[in-house]
Amino acid sequence: MKGCWEMEKELIRLENVAKAFGNLRVLDEVDLSIYESEFITLLGPSGCGKTTMLRIIGGFEMPDMGRVIFDGKDITNLPPNKRPINTVFQKYSLFSHMNVEENIAFGPKIAGKSADYIRDKIKYALKLVNLEGYEKHDVTRLSGGQQQRIAIARAVVNEPKVLLLDEPLSALDLKLRRNMRRELVRINKETGITFIFVTHDQEEALSMSDRVVVMNQGYIQQVGTPENVYNEPENAFVADFIGDSNIIDGVMVRDKLVRIFGREYPCVDEGFPEECPVDVQIRPEDIILDAPQEGAFNGVVTRVVFWGMSYDINVEADGFEWLIQSTTRRTVGEKVSLHVAPENIQIMSKPQSEDEEVAQDD
Amino acid sequence: MININARNILLTPFLIWAGLFIFIPLVCIVWYGITDYDGNFSFKNMGLIFERGYLDALKLSIWLALISTVICLLMAYPLCLILTERQRNNSTIISLLFILPLWMNSLLSTMAWQTILEGNGIINQLMRLLGLPTFQMINTEGAIVVGMVYNYLPYMVLPLYIALTKIDRRILEAAQDLGASSWQTFVKIILPLSLPGAVSGITMVFIPALTTFVISALLGGGKLLLIGNIIEQEFTFQYDWHVGCALSVILMIFIILNMLLTTYFDKADAEEDF
């Protein structure tokens, strides 16, 4: 997948970008390439620097260090109104003293477009966000979802190269949020505008993006396709943040063999030095429960929670509380054995620098 | 129901207060204004506004109050814009500095202006020291305007400042994001959104400026009579309550007119929202 993206045209490049607020380092020498027309998501917990990175791309914050390159030109010192980039803000930030039409016309009017052009554009933009005929409506009387659509229309109407979306769905209820996810992906594909989307919601990131940038404590932890970051997390933070995970200390015995809790298991990873300590990740849905067997990895069920689609089952084995997702019901106190296929054992190198160590503690 | 009753009971002291100290005096003023010395109904005293140069005093009062209001507005906007910007950086001391004059007796501060603007005042002494020509500043319309602006500026700053702090910073960022320069953001976003604050500021400056007699007495030297001075004289020197009240009623009509006008503009703007 990675190779596929390298074929694309690079639109934005962050070079060595750093930003601090007082003593707090929000972004730490970050490098990132963003390609034309892609839907890229900056994902991380609050305070990870994702919003700051977005605001630096938008021109609302100046980086302390580094450069922002847009289409080959250095735009680091360009103010927001001079950048071919538009933003959809978290709380929509519609102009309450203007109606829908005036809100959408704001950008084109400033740009000095003709009245005919603007009228056509408003029609096109409202159609794009499925709010045809809403021209004269009062923005303060629209529902949250409708306000969000108007905010998108107001941005898209300027035909920006890039659309920045700062947690735009966080104020909407669940059902509306799911709808808007589909809408956003559709608008991205229909217009070809590059979408840079910020969220702390991993489900949102995985379901919408072409690529996900996982961030923590001002560092980029991993960049990859949704499948990539989910199935092959590069470190324990990514494994833990995206989906549920069992993360255990392990030691690589040799290529394709890992030792966990004194037992050796075949796996598919190679390239680690012998006897190298590693983090081992096993997804809850990848563990298969069976009747207890002699010589197998046996444990006792300690807790069962029903989630509708499946059960969350906790099993204690070797002093570790394993999380398992299964569609088969188990009872507390039941003895079971745990089985994992070699390809579902994900080996990750331990963090090396002290900064990264700190990052993982949170 | 109980709630409403409880509220009515709580309201009673205020209603009594309003009746005794607001409504009854108002009725008295109007009564005196529209009756003659024998207690007969008459517009004779109200008609006096067209004699003895009273109309000129009223015209001058409205003119100077208008100029002062405009100057206050022009000064308050940039000041409040800077203050709101600062307030976001958490320094409220600066905003306090502009409210501080309110703590000072306005009579005192006006007398201070007297000593500054006098023929032998601070400014002219300085000019003489530098070998520059001196100015006649006291007892001019300009001096009265200076006094009005100095005394009433905080009343413009406060409502405007509150209106400006209510504007979400993200709204301004959104305007900038859509290509607006700082000036365009001010004209198209900040100005319309802060208009209610400006309107109440205009009312709060215009009304006291229109009715003042202290500022014009001290800085106008009794040569420039405002309508406030004439009303004061009717009461304190002529002991003519009927003329004083009649002029007060006329002044009130102008104040009500001003308020109707400003609320009309406020409403017209609010209706544009729909």
- Domains annotated on chain A, with CATH: 2-231 (3.40.50.300), 245-361 (2.40.50.140)
**Range with the poorest average pLDDT among A51-60, A114-123, A269-278:** A269-278
Which residue in chain B is spatially nearest to A82 when comparing CA positions?
B179
The encoded tokens of residue A293 equal 């067997």
What's the whole-number mean pLDDT along residues A284-308? 90
Measured between its terminal Cα atoms, the distance across chain A in Å is 30
pLDDT band at A14 (very low <50, low <70, confident <90, very high): very high
Q: Do A99 and B178 touch (CB under 8 A)?
A: no
- Residues in A 149-208 with any Cβ partner in B closer than 8 A: 154-155, 158
Domains of chain B, CATH where assigned: 1-33 (no CATH), 48-272 (1.10.3720.10)
Q: Do A87 and B173 touch (CB under 8 A)?
A: yes
pLDDT band at A353 (very low <50, low <70, confident <90, very high): low
What's the whole-number mean pLDDT along residues A99-125? 94
CA distance A299 to B27: 92
Is residue A362 scored above 50 in pLDDT?
no
Q: Do B184 and A110 touch (CB under 8 A)?
A: yes
What's the whole-number mean pLDDT along residues A335-339? 92
CA distance A323 to A325: 7
On chain A, the residues whose CB falls within 8 A of the CB of B170 are 89-91, 93
pLDDT band at A306 (very low <50, low <70, confident <90, very high): very high
On chain B, the residues whose CB falls within 8 A of the CB of A91 are 168, 170
The residue ranges of chain B whose pLDDT is under 50 are 272-274
On chain B, the residues whose CB falls within 8 A of the CB of A138 are 273-274
Q: Do A111 and B179 touch (CB under 8 A)?
A: yes
On chain A, the residues whose CB falls within 8 A of the CB of B171 are 93, 95
Q: Does any CB of chain A come closer than 8 Å to the CB of residue B179?
A: yes
Q: Do A91 and B168 touch (CB under 8 A)?
A: yes
Q: What is the mean pLDDT of chain A?
A: 89
| pLDDT of the residue at A68 | 95
| pLDDT of the residue at B31 | 87
Contact A267, A256 (CB under 8 A): yes
Name which of B180, B184, B272 is nearest A97 (Cβ-Cβ).
Answer: B272
Q: Does any CB of chain B come closer than 8 Å to the CB of residue A105?
A: no
| pLDDT of the residue at B7 | 80
| pLDDT of the residue at A22 | 87
Give the SS3 label for residue A108.
Answer: helix
Which residue in chain A is spatially nearest to B182 when comparing CA positions?
A81
SS (H, E, C) chain B: CHHHHHHHHHHHHHHHHHHHHHHHHHHHHHHHHCECCCCCECCHHHHHHHCCCHHHHHHHHHHHHHHHHHHHHHHHHHHHHHHHHHHHCCCCHHHHHHHHHHHCCHHHHHHHHHHHHCCCCHHHHHHHHCCCCCCCCCCCHHHHHHHHHHHHHHHHHHHHHHHHHCCCHHHHHHHHHCCCCHHHHHHHHHHHHHHHHHHHHHHHHHHHHHHCCHHHHHHCCCCCCCHHHHHHHHHHCCCCHHHHHHHHHHHHHHHHHHHHHHHHHHHHHHHHCC
On chain B, the residues whose CB falls within 8 A of the CB of A87 are 173-174, 177
Answer positive or negative: Cα dihedral of A161, A167, A171, A175: positive
What's the whole-number mean pLDDT along residues A217-231? 93
| pLDDT of the residue at A95 | 95
Which tens digit of pLDDT belongs to each residue from A230-255? Answer: 998 999 899 989 988 899 999 999 98
Q: Do B178 and A96 touch (CB under 8 A)?
A: no
User: Best mutation site among A21, A93, A142, A156 for testing chain B: the one with the most B CBs within 10 Å?
Assistant: A93
Q: Do A106 and B176 touch (CB under 8 A)?
A: no
Share of chain A above pLDDT 70, in %: 95
| pLDDT of the residue at A358 | 45
pLDDT band at A3 (very low <50, low <70, confident <90, very high): very low
Q: Do B178 and A155 touch (CB under 8 A)?
A: yes
How close is the nearest chain A Cα to the Cα of B188, in Å?
9
Share of chain A above pLDDT 90, in %: 70
On chain A, the residues whose CB falls within 8 A of the CB of B181 are 81
Q: What is the DSSP string of A145-167?
A: HHHHHHHHHHHHTT--SEEEEES
> Dmax of chain B from CA atoms?
78
CA distance B166 to A321: 51
Give the burial class of B248: count Cβ atoms within 10 A of its Cβ; 0-12 exposed, 13-18 middle, 19 or more buried.
buried
On chain A, the residues whose CB falls within 8 A of the CB of B269 are 97
Q: CA separation (Å) from B8 to B14, B17, B23, B251? A: 10, 14, 19, 34
